[in-house]
Amino acid sequence: MNETRELARFITELRYADLKDEVVKKAKGLIIDQFGCQLAFATLPWNKAVYQYTRNKRSASNDSTVVYYGLKTTAENAAFANAVFGHGFEMDDTEMLTASHPGVAVIPSALAMGEAEIISGKEFITAIVAGYEAMLRPGIAARAMMMRGFHSTGVGGTLGSAAAAGNILGFDVDTMVSALGIAASESSGITEYAISGGSVKRMHAGFAAASGVRAALLAQLGITGPTAALEGKKGFCHVFSDECSIEEITKDLGKEYRIMLTGNKPYCCCAGQHTVIDAGTNLKKKYNINPEEIVEVIIEQRPREAINLGNIIIPEDVISAQFSARFGLALNLIKGSNGYQDYNEKNIKDPQILDLVKKMKYIPDEKCEKLKVSDGGPALVTIKMKDGTTYVEQVDYA
């Protein structure tokens, strides 16, 4: 079976009338969430730099708009800037099977291309649903890519962006196959940011969104891609992941929508540590824990979470703080929240928070694979007090 072609056929044939009410409702909620992220974070320092970069890329085209600033530019440029804005502070939507953020790749692409093509709201929603399916299905098939150091948002986002753009442009199946193949050739993104930091992590969504738009426009002009770009021996899944479940690309295609697996973040940090934060919150509420009386904290999670969350002990900047489970838990236990206003330079240098961070151990533990919910980033948190009392909390899914 040619999974690339089957997925391409689904994307090209999908219409608003095909969508269940629950799928439309989910898509609308995710659109609102992504627009909120773009507007809220457009003026952060790294996003101002991206705006400046986009403004400096002179273009005769006024097809699409950069959110918040009102700059008119090409669809490719607008998709890049808006995606970076939306991914700018770790609050964008998340799908836990792939550990990716589909909204920041798909929605900016559909917005930019939809504005350029002057489409209806129903067509906009349809393109977004198509994009989520194109990103998440291959992503689930190659879900082990994070274990090799690939950032699933940057890698899979090109596919979702290309699919959304191609759906809007009215591609036939062959052209969509090429768009996916070209997009797969541009897939990229490494997770070293979770070890040594770097604001470039914020750019990954922009790279994916822009690459997907570019892939669609190149396919429209006749550039072709591999016909088995997703399932081939040297294709997307096998190249990026040591473990592949190719059948996931077309499993229940058109019957079950993977967009329904996507959720909104309650905390402004990497989603894999949300269970850690919830465990800390639960313990504090149950036992009225005084952080000053804590002598040791042990955090246990799967190796899948550990590769992103267990490396950074003392964060050097905001992004490294957002990828430190130790810091996230300490922040919650002392300040009581992990929101947008909490991840700032003052808190990452707070002596009380850092003192508690130093009392924490983070243990990658295979036994966490056996916890109740296998794809929610399950966590075990143990807190030991000065009086000898030990408190333990398990959270399976945030």
Of 241, 261, 281, which residue sits at a domain end?
261
Whether the pTM exceeds 0.85: the reply is yes
* The residue type at 108: P
Q: 253 and 303 share a domain?
A: no
Q: 223 and 289 share a domain?
A: no
Q: In whole angstroms, what is the distance from residue 65 CA to residue 74 CA?
A: 8
Q: 96 and 129 share a domain?
A: yes
Q: 237 and 380 share a domain?
A: no
Q: In whole angstroms, what is the distance from residue 92 CA to residue 236 CA?
A: 25
Q: In whole angstroms, what is the distance from residue 156 CA to residue 141 CA?
A: 11
Q: 109 and 250 share a domain?
A: yes
Q: In whole angstroms, what is the distance from residue 83 CA to residue 160 CA?
A: 13
Specify the CATH number for the domain of residue 369. 3.30.1330.120
Of 220, 243, 261, which residue sits at a domain end?
261
Residue among 79, 70, 62 nearest 168 (CA)? 79
Of 228, 261, 294, which residue sits at a domain end?
261
Q: Is 266 inside any structural domain?
A: no
Count: domains in the chain: 2
* The residue type at 80: F
User: Are the C-beta atoms of residues 72 and 176 closer than 8 Å to each other?
Assistant: no
Q: In whole angstroms, what is the distance from residue 363 CA to residue 376 CA?
A: 17
Specify the CATH number for the domain of residue 123. 1.10.4100.10
Q: In whole angstroms, what is the distance from residue 345 CA to residue 196 CA?
A: 17
Write out the H or E segment, with its range, that includes residue 318.
helix 318-322
> What residue numbers bound the domain in which 55 lies?
3-261
Residue among 75, 67, 71, 68 nearest 55 (CA)? 71
User: Are the C-beta atoms of residues 26 and 96 closer than 8 Å to each other?
Assistant: no
In tens digits, the chain (398 residues) has pLDDT values of 799 999 999 999 999 999 999 999 999 999 999 999 999 999 999 999 999 999 998 788 899 999 999 999 999 999 999 999 999 999 999 999 999 999 999 999 999 999 999 999 999 999 999 999 999 999 999 999 999 999 999 999 999 999 999 999 999 999 999 999 999 999 999 999 999 989 999 999 999 999 999 999 999 999 999 999 999 999 999 999 999 999 999 999 999 999 999 999 999 999 999 999 999 999 999 999 999 999 999 999 999 899 999 999 999 999 999 999 999 999 999 999 999 999 999 999 999 999 999 999 999 987 766 554 446 689 999 999 999 999 999 998 86
